[in-house]
Amino acid sequence: MKGNFIDNLPKVYGIYTGGFIGFIIIMAIAEQMGMTAKAIGIAFVAFTVFIYALIGWLSRTAQADAYYVAGRQVPTVFNGMATAADWMSGASFVAMAGGIYFKGYGYMALLVGWTGGYVLVASLLAPYLRKFGCYTVPDFIGTRYGGNLARFSAVVVLTVASFTYVTAQINATGTIASVALDIPFQYAVYVGLISILLCSMLGGMRGVTWTQVAQYIVLIIAYLLPVFWISNKMGAGFFPHFMLADEVARIGELEQQFGFVKNAAADLKSVPKGLAGITKAHSAVNATPWAFISLALAMMMGTASLPHVMMRYFTTPSVKAARKSVGWSLFFIFLLYSSAPMLATLSKLSLIDPNLPTGIIGKTFAEVEAIDWYQNWNQANLMFISDFNGNGTLELNEFFMGGKAVVLATPEIAGLPYVISGLVAAGGMAAAMSTADGLILAIANAISHDVYYKIIDPKAETAKRLLVARVLLVVIGFAGATIAAMEIQGILGSVIWAFDFAMSGLFFPLVLGVWWKRANRQGAIAGMLGGLIAGAWYLVWVRTGGSGFLGITQLTFGIFGSAVSLVLMVVVSLMTAEPDKATQKMVDDVRVPSGKSILGRSH
Amino acid sequence: MSNQQKHWEKTRGLLFITLAIWFVFSIGIFLFGAEMNEVTGPFGYPWTYWFTCQGSLGAFVILIFWFANRQEKIDEEFGFSEREDE
């Protein structure tokens, strides 16, 4: 190919996408010829992980600005795809449709929160941080407010938030690897970790960028293809997003007909851990306005404070490109998020509608237990039925399912070939890997650049800096995997906590750093540490039986943390001296898109 | 007022408009979620349900592109737009 790599990107990824579709077709043919389900699962995961590792190796680099910010030459649309993959975690891919399936409207606050946050990113932060020219988020805090303590506080908040998040992602790669490769979870976690490190270790941000684009393509195909296929197969409409109104209404009708019968506590004890029944209305408003809004708001402010997302906008060629790139990111995220409720609708209707051949409610227990897919997923511990009232017929309140089953099992229930299940496994793996990569890199870069280079050894040579960065990457990865192997918290819980931690400590110090010239070092430090401590205290308090206040739960504790952070930051800033002239000039320069960045190209 | 101050004034104005629209789609609608869900909305879905599934999400995408274009116009107006070769 002629010309440089950047100009050839559309061609390179076009060929890649074609190749991947070709691979799906080959697998489909192999299935017809008798390839086993297990072999197909292994082939999908192994093939895609091999491609990512290859991209990671091809992107190896020895330059600081390529390692930290991919040389600042990632085009808008591709950065959008990379951000979307960075953003959509194993939780978005595997657990989101399941959450909507079980909890309906109240849960969908997450959809609004995880997209609306990008408006804040685009308007309040991304273009200004790009103009600043920093390598990491603490780099901005450290330079804007000055001093090692401010920089170090930002590293602390970043590490707490990202580490909470990354264990969940390594856990997800482990879960998928253990199912697809049929190995125990304790080992699968490390298989997942090695795959993750292969993408990021040699090329840093450059390697992660180009693997994330590749991972986005895999995960979006793996999510959308089954949704469209199932919808068509069920006769629900060829474009589900615009055509499922009747199905949504039908679910409402069935809910009325069956009613939500409350199970006795003694009966529920027999249900395996992690499985749930349908107890909430599908499309009706089932949460108070504040419950919905507080969750959405916490996720939006968390989005704007999570460093692994913010640092993706440091890689664009210009400030203008950073703004547009946020729009593209959200567009690519929208494609998946707007499909999740459709998948939940299709999945639920296909299971509960007695008029459909796949419907199991109203069938006898003997009939349901004879179904192949029921046996498979019951064995995988994701489905369970029990005849509580002893009438021999399955009722709505007697059917239990794991949240992951909505994405993982629906293709099989709808009678799609196994090749689709293999594809879904590869998609889930891509989603979890890409997010884990972004997070581990964010932590390792912050420690290597901000703590090691800026605070401990400012004279270190590039080769030594990058060596430290890579060693940290491996250490943090292994620490994350070790904690993930202990399986402390479910995938989704820890993801939401990460948002709350990030917003508690970083939202206001970042935003006010650009929008309030009077904000100074003392205020920022008080805001970061005070916010983080207040948020963490609230979480511990509620977890240990505290009643909480103002309806703030353990999922939205960031609202309390960030409020404390804002008050402390404003009060302490006003009580201490205003920033010096040089800092004020720096803020003025950040607000103008043209001209040189504040920090040099290589710093 | 210097050129730079005027530019910032306009930029801030655009921010407030953007955040106001953002507020409507992320918070405003859901203050009246229960009432609005009684009404049939686009494509036949209940209104609030449709907004949580697609409407608000799509509105955010459009809002960001609109914001980016407006901000570029403001930057051009005051001569602060970047040259492509920078």
Q: Where are the domains of chain A?
A: 9-254+281-346+417-491
Say yes or no for a CB contact (<8 Å) between A123 and B15: yes
Instruction: Show the tokens assigned to A194.
Output: 């090695």
| CA A51 – CA A37 distance, rounded (Å) | 22
Q: Please spell the DSSP secondary structure of A495-519, one letter per residue.
A: HHHHHHHHHHHHHHHHHHHHH-TT-
pLDDT of amino acid A259: 77
pLDDT of amino acid A3: 60
Which of residues A1 and A336 earns the better pLDDT score? A336
Predicted TM-score (pTM) of the model is 0.92
| CA A438 – CA A320 distance, rounded (Å) | 23
Say yes or no for a CB contact (<8 Å) between A330 and B80: no
| CA A40 – CA A532 distance, rounded (Å) | 46
Residues 38-57 on B with a CB inside 8 Å of A are 43-46, 48-49, 52-54, 56-57
| CA A317 – CA A370 distance, rounded (Å) | 59
Q: Of A192, A187, A76, A228, whose CA–CA distance to A430 is shortest?
A: A192
Chain B CB contacts of A105 under 8 Å are: 33, 48-49, 52
Taking a C-beta distance cutoff of 8 angstroms, is the pair B44, A98 a contact? no
A71: left (phi over 0), alpha (psi -120 to 50) or beta: left
Taking a C-beta distance cutoff of 8 angstroms, is the pair A266, A76 a contact? no
Tell me the average pLDDT across A132-152. 88
- What is the CATH topology of the domain spanning A9-254+281-346+417-491? Sodium/glucose cotransporter (1.20.1730)
* pLDDT tens profile A588-599: 888 888 877 777
| CA A171 – CA A163 distance, rounded (Å) | 12
Taking a C-beta distance cutoff of 8 angstroms, is the pair A174, A425 a contact? no
Angle at A549 between CA A544 and CA A550, to 5 degrees: 145
Taking a C-beta distance cutoff of 8 angstroms, is the pair A346, A413 a contact? no
Say yes or no for a CB contact (<8 Å) between B57 and A323: no
Q: Say whether residue A280 is in contact with chain B using an 8 A CB cutoff.
A: no
Tell me the average pLDDT across A11-36. 90
- The CA R_g of chain A, rounded to the nearest whole Å, is 24
Say yes or no for a CB contact (<8 Å) between A112 and B49: no
Minimal C-alpha gap between A119 and chain B (Å): 6
Which amino acid is present at A264? A
Chain B CB contacts of A320 under 8 Å are: 68, 72, 75, 81-82
Tell me the average pLDDT across A406-423. 86
Instruction: Show the tokens assigned to A214.
Output: 């590749």
Average pLDDT, chain A: 86
Cα torsion angle, A96, A97, A100, A101, sign: negative
> Which burial class, exposed, middle or buried, applies to A376 when counting CB atoms under 10 A from its CB (0-12, 13-18, 19+)?
middle
Q: Say whether residue A443 is in contact with chain B using an 8 A CB cutoff.
A: no
Q: What is residue A222's three-state secondary structure?
A: helix
Q: Of A418, A27, A95, whose CA–CA distance to A226 is shortest?
A: A418
- Residue A95's DSSP bridge partners are none
Q: Please spell the DSSP secondary structure of A362-376, one letter per residue.
A: TSBHHHHHT-HHHHH
pLDDT of amino acid A550: 86
How many Cα atoms sit within 13 Å of B28 on the Cβ side? 8
Q: Which of A93-102, A263-272, A484-493, A568-577 has the lowest mean pLDDT?
A: A484-493
Q: How many helices (H) and strands (E) would you count in chain B?
A: 5, 0
Distance of CA A428 to the CA centre of its chain: 11
- Residue A399's DSSP bridge partners are A385
Tell me the average pLDDT across A535-556. 86
Q: Of A393, A102, A375, whose CA–CA distance to A384 is shortest?
A: A375
Chain A CB contacts of B10 under 8 Å are: none
Task: Please report which residue ranges of A398-520 form alpha helices under DSSP H.
Answer: 405-413, 418-445, 462-485, 491-515
Angle at A394 between CA A390 and CA A398, to 5 degrees: 80
Residue A401's H or E segment, with its range, is: strand A399-402
Taking a C-beta distance cutoff of 8 angstroms, is the pair A447, A473 a contact? no
| pLDDT of A579 strictly over 60 | yes
Instruction: Show the tokens assigned to A574.
Output: 């006003």
Position A39 confidence tier, pLDDT thresholds 50, 70, 90: confident
| CA A119 – CA B14 distance, rounded (Å) | 13
Tell me the average pLDDT across A430-456. 85
pLDDT of amino acid B85: 46
Which of residues A24 and A601 earns the better pLDDT score? A24
Instruction: Show the tokens assigned to A236.
Output: 């629900």
3-state helix, strand, coil in chain B (%, to 5): 80, 0, 20
pLDDT of amino acid A2: 53
Tell me the average pLDDT across A39-47. 88
Residues 69-108 on A with a CB inside 8 Å of B are 105, 108
Minimal C-alpha gap between B86 and chain A (Å): 8
Angle at A31 between CA A27 and CA A37, to 5 degrees: 95
Q: Which of A321-335, A385-399, A462-476, A588-602 has the lowest mean pLDDT?
A: A588-602
| pLDDT of A58 strictly over 90 | no
Say yes or no for a CB contact (<8 Å) between B63 and A242: no
* pLDDT tens profile A309-331: 899 998 888 888 999 999 999 99
| CA B77 – CA A274 distance, rounded (Å) | 58
Q: What percent of chain A has pLDDT over 70?
A: 98
C-beta neighbour count of A533 within 10 angstroms: 15
**Chain B residue closest to A592 (CA)?**
B80
State how far the alpha carbon of A382 is from the alpha carbons of A287, A404, A454, A492, in Å.
Answer: 27, 8, 49, 17
- Out of B7, B58, B68, closest to residue A334 by CB: B58
> Which burial class, exposed, middle or buried, applies to A184 when counting CB atoms under 10 A from its CB (0-12, 13-18, 19+)?
exposed
Residue A98's contacts (CB-CB under 8 Å, 6 or more residues apart) are: A344, A402, A403, A404, A405, A406, A407
pLDDT of amino acid A264: 77
Taking a C-beta distance cutoff of 8 angstroms, is the pair A45, A177 a contact? yes
The backbone torsions φ and ψ at residue A484, rounded to the nearest 5 degrees and listed phi first, read -60, -40
pLDDT of amino acid B86: 44
| pLDDT of A41 strictly over 60 | yes
| pLDDT of A487 strictly over 80 | no
| CA A339 – CA A84 distance, rounded (Å) | 15
* pLDDT tens profile A503-538: 999 999 999 999 998 999 999 999 999 999 999 999
| CA A160 – CA A178 distance, rounded (Å) | 27
